[in-house]
């Protein structure tokens, strides 16, 4: 029976086809592998070029962001130093005032406590 007439191939008809395919693959196997390697190489080169283009475009933006972060960081440290200096100045001035006027300081503290207690009390 001819395999071209039979829609369901038999093992005998397949054996001959397998031998033909094996011979064709053996002769074209290396060229197929070469083509496959070329395709993979081209795809890799295209991917490398795309990554390089993206890196070239991203580098200036990254540098701008880095510069802005460094500027903000230096301003924050400067501001923190300034706040610490002002805090030290106020603390020193308060200590000096309390040392120079102890009775007035106690009176102000008592009045402040009474006022605060009135404000925070639940009685109206």
| Average pLDDT score over the chain | 81
Q: Which domain holds residue 44?
A: 11-120
pLDDT in tens, 54-109: 888 888 888 999 999 999 999 999 999 999 999 999 999 999 999 999 999 999 99
Residue 4 falls inside a structural domain: no
pLDDT confidence of residue 18? 52
Residue 3 falls inside a structural domain: no
pLDDT confidence of residue 30? 65
The number of distinct structural domains making up the chain is 1
Residue 15 has pLDDT above 60, yes or no: no
Is residue 43 a contact partner of residue 53, using CB atoms and an 8 Å limit? Answer: no
Between 48 and 123, the higher pLDDT residue: 48
For residue 98, the tally of other CB atoms under 10 A from its CB is: 14
């Amino acid at each position: 029976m001819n395999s071209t007439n039979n829609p369901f191939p038999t093992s005998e008809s397949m054996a001959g086809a397998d031998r033909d395919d094996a011979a064709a693959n053996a002769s074209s196997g290396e060229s197929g592998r070469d083509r496959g390697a070329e395709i993979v190489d081209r795809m890799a080169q295209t991917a490398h070029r795309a990554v390089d283009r993206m890196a070239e475009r991203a580098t200036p933006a990254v540098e701008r962001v880095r510069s802005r972060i460094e500027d903000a960081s230096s301003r924050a440290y400067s501001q923190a130093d300034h706040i610490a200096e002002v805090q030290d100045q106020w603390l020193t001035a308060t200590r000096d005032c309390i040392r120079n006027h102890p009775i007035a300081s106690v009176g102000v503290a008592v009045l402040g406590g009474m006022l605060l207690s009135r404000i925070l009390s639940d009685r109206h």
